[in-house]
Structure 1
Amino acid sequence: MDVVVIETPQLGDRSYLVHDGSVALVIDPQRDIDRVEKAARDAGVRITHVAETHLHNDYVTGGLVLAEKHGAAYLVNAADEVSFVRVPVTDGQVLHVGRLAVSVVATPGHTHTHLSYVVRDDTYDGGLEAVFSGGSLLYGSVGRTDLVSPHDTAKLAHEQYSSVRRLVDASRPEAALYPTHGFGSFCSIGPASRQESSTIAEQAKSNHALTDPHEDHFVAELLENISAYPAYYAHMSPLNAAGPGRPDLTVPDSVDPVELSRRLRAGEWVVDLRHRVAFADTHLQGSVSFEYGRGDNFTSYLGWVIPWNQPLTLLGPHGEVHKAIRDLARIGIDNPDAAVGPDSTGLDIGALAPQSPRASYEHGDWNLFASERKPEDVVLDVRRPDEFKTSHIKGALNVPVYELLARISELPDDRIWVHCATGYRASVAASLLDRAGREVVLINARFRDAAGSGIETVP
């Protein structure tokens, strides 16, 4: 048995191709299935089965399209209410993929109908075993339990406690563990580990979901650590239950400059993908900054901040626009328009809409803040409330970036210095404030460096 990992760091998830050298099972494929298909071609195997651990809340699946394209069996929990033909599977069922035996294990918690798959090869490699746990048992923690309904959160947390133990009992200690979430995904919760691999035995010794002997204590701790999750999550499970189609990942013809100017004047969402400092220095008035390619924040925060199902236009070099279209398709944002320039760091964004006015705002580090901030200026911290609670600048206001659009009117009319943990969320917030006609300064620096510049932080 061989397991090929297909990473999606933009969402903090992994998909898997597990095969016996001839035929393969795919677990939790992302919507851009060409990556999975390439992995299968590289391995010289045929995809005969595709399986979902659950109806995902953080991305649109490629499972149905992949299964239909390859004539593969599409394994989905029989209890899931879906609008497409699937092979219904249930707890305790064993399926065969070539010489691999695939055992279905019910592991409710992340969702009511969550499944895990224990894959065993008893005829080769000494009975090698792999556990595909989806959003159940993760490296260091478990999948969050509040995505179904606020009324079900505590009940699902109790089920998560029981499910991970059931999964351990159904597996061999030496079995390799392959979760879908837990690599930066907002679907994980608690003290998730940064490790790249693990086994059932390792998790049994270190994962708080397995080491805490008191279920009520574990549940209370889990619920206490629940934080906000992206707004677009509300749309993912219904899309997956309906059976999403294959996305168009091609870059469309560039928007005409006159049309782009009209969109900006009309207040449509025009997203600039360039570096946040380049945006601050000059941008098309009315556009917003979602820097592409710096960390893995783009997809989640764009889907979180911009209202769902609104017309969207991307601005930037062709290569970055192409990659952004792929990323957005993973969360169900299909066929955005684009105003595309050459693949060059010297892209003149104004040339895409010569008739539109340009804008800019000040930016700097904590030294600039310390030297130029006036007493009446506002300090806006756009991190999550739990981050703010841990430590913040004395006197700062906290409005998470994902709430800012609805709360701009609450902010004083004075100049606003905006920051986050690294500068990325602050750059999004600064562009939203600029779009709203506010005077803003972007603090393009890490929060952890504030104290070193003499900035007073509390507690």
Structure 2
Amino acid sequence: MLFQQFKVEGLGCLSYMIGCPAAGTACVVDPERHVDQYLQVAQKHGLRITHIFDTHLHADHLTGSGELAARTGADIYVHPGVEAAYPHKELHEGDRFRFGAGEIEIIETFGHTPNSVTLAVCDHSRSEDVFALLTGDLLFVGDVGRPDLAGADLLEEQVKNLYNSLHSKLARFPDWTEIYPAHGEGSLCGKGMSAKPMSTLGFERRNNPLLKMSFAEFHKAMTKEFQVRPDNFAVMVDKNRRGPAALAKAAPFVAMSIPQVEEAKKRGARIVDTRVPSAFGAAFIEGAVNIGLTPASVNWLGMVIPADTDIIIVADTPARAQEAAHIYRRAGYDRLIGYIGDGISGWAAKAKPLNHLPQISTAGLKRIMQKYPDHVIVDVRSDAEWSTGHIDRAKHIPIEQIIQKKVDLPKDAHITIVCASGYRANIAGSILKAMGYEDVFTLIGGMTAWKNANAQ
């Protein structure tokens, strides 16, 4: 039997192919939107993909089920609670599917969403026992799925369902059963996931603190604050329920001339500058937001810019721009209308307006604090990070408030933005610049550098 895991770096999305080379059939579970990898593995092993399963209605990325079905002719299977508006077949408790030596049983495990299922996998060529559980977003390595994404009105019901699924629905499986979740480290669908790609049920029962709690303790933990949910999550839920558009229908992504960029900006297009903080800080196009390109940068994009916005990407090279587009389309950003692939060199050569976001060192900030007592220091980290220590005189304004433009600072204030490393500070600083704040700086290395400087 073939069993293979696929990972999307940054977003932490995990998907799976289960098949039998002898029978020539396979299924894919929780496919991501870029589906070539599944087709390549199927071809390598002489498999025909006949079934596609989504374990739940995803909120953090677009499903690739429709894309894969169009390329293979496979049927898509989801729980009826998804209320899918695209061609599909329903999954119910106890349903079984056979792929040669491999067999899958469907278990309804609500809690992360009201439509979640777990797939119990058996390899009959070796044993009649279930050897693995594909838990979707029910149980992660070191964590469990957050129950709040379905909405505040369903939270109480979701917490109860989550606890029941973890302790009752999975109770019949022995400790040696392997656990393969739909997400790992980097995902916003939990808050303490391990980087490990799998675990066992016994290890999690013994070492995952959330599985050792009474219901009262679990309820308290699951109704505390989670990571901020990007606004784009609601958009992706809607698209996944309706069925995402084919990638072929996405806007053409081409190099743009300066006049084309200027015209697009007049029509409301936003510029996302993907360069590193130091390059962005030296010079950037007016109004651009700096979201440095990393595998997880799409999570920040989802917090800052709606997915129905025309977006122009600024990158150091055309290849980096294409890489950004590839990452962003996983989250439904299909209105990427073009890119500038030489940083801002061409823009500067034409003497077009540029702005800057100066970067200052820890020593520089200390001198400024001594010389200018009215200099404002804004710490944009989370409440938990702030509580571990912060710079004296700093104001705590979490980055989410700045993204929402909930800033009550004088426009003529001189401001230094601080985060943990400098990444979020540049996002916040670029937003403040676009809001009309002129004298904005960011601290190189953030609180990590500040603490190290003070420890010397």
Q: Shared topology, TM-score over 0.5?
A: yes
Q: CA deviation at 1:231?
A: 1.4
1:400 maps to which of 398, 401, 406:
398
**More off after superposition, 55-64 vs 126-135:** 126-135
CA deviation digits over 1:14-57, x for unaligned, max 9? 11112223322211111111222223334442211110110101
Partner of 1:410: 408
Cα distance in structure 1, aligned partners of 2:383 and 2:442 = 20
TM-score, structure 1 normalization: 0.91
Partner of 1:106: 108
Cα distance in structure 2, aligned partners of 1:302 and 1:418 = 19
The answer (yes or no) to whether the contact 1:82–1:242 under 8 Å persists in 2 is: yes
Q: What secondary structure does 1:152 align onto?
A: helix
Q: CA deviation at 1:167?
A: 4.3
Partner of 2:184: 182
Partner of 2:11: 11
TM-score, structure 2 normalization: 0.91
Query: Does residue 152 of the first structure (1) align with residue 151 of the second (2)?
Result: no
Relative distance call for 1:50 and 1:428 in structure 2 (3 A) is: same
CA deviation digits over 1:355-390, x for unaligned, max 9? 521121210332221122321111111222332234
Partner of 2:373: 375
Partner of 1:51: 53
Relative distance call for 1:337 and 1:349 in structure 2 (3 A) is: farther
Query: Does residue 79 of the first structure (1) align with residue 81 of the second (2)?
Result: yes
Q: What secondary structure does 1:224 align onto?
A: coil
**More off after superposition, 172-181 vs 417-426:** 172-181
The answer (yes or no) to whether the contact 2:307–2:332 under 8 Å persists in 1 is: no
The answer (yes or no) to whether the contact 1:75–1:87 under 8 Å persists in 2 is: yes
Partner of 2:426: 427
Relative distance call for 1:406 and 1:204 in structure 2 (3 A) is: closer
**More off after superposition, 113-122 vs 226-235:** 226-235
Query: Does residue 222 of the first structure (1) align with residue 222 of the second (2)?
Result: yes
Partner of 1:201: 202
Cα distance in structure 2, aligned partners of 1:352 and 1:272 = 15
Any unmatched runs of 5+ in structure 2? none
Q: CA deviation at 1:147?
A: 0.6
Q: What secondary structure does 1:437 align onto?
A: coil
Partner of 1:351: 347
The answer (yes or no) to whether the contact 1:49–1:97 under 8 Å persists in 2 is: no
Cα distance in structure 1, aligned partners of 2:44 and 2:397 = 47
Partner of 1:362: 358
Q: What secondary structure does 1:158 align onto?
A: helix
Q: What secondary structure does 1:146 align onto?
A: coil
Query: Does residue 287 of the first structure (1) align with residue 288 of the second (2)?
Result: yes
CA deviation digits over 1:279-316, x for unaligned, max 9? 101122222211113xx331000111123422211122
Relative distance call for 1:106 and 1:128 in structure 2 (3 A) is: closer
Partner of 2:144: 142
Q: What secondary structure does 2:255 align onto?
A: coil
Cα distance in structure 1, aligned partners of 2:128 and 2:153 = 46
Any unmatched runs of 5+ in structure 1? none
The answer (yes or no) to whether the contact 1:379–1:417 under 8 Å persists in 2 is: yes
Q: What secondary structure does 1:372 align onto?
A: helix
The answer (yes or no) to whether the contact 2:141–2:196 under 8 Å persists in 1 is: yes
Q: How large is the Cα RMSD of the aligned pairs?
A: 2.3
Identity of aligned residues (%): 26
Q: CA deviation at 1:440?
A: 0.8
The answer (yes or no) to whether the contact 2:184–2:196 under 8 Å persists in 1 is: no
The answer (yes or no) to whether the contact 1:110–1:156 under 8 Å persists in 2 is: yes
Cα distance in structure 2, aligned partners of 1:412 and 1:390 = 28
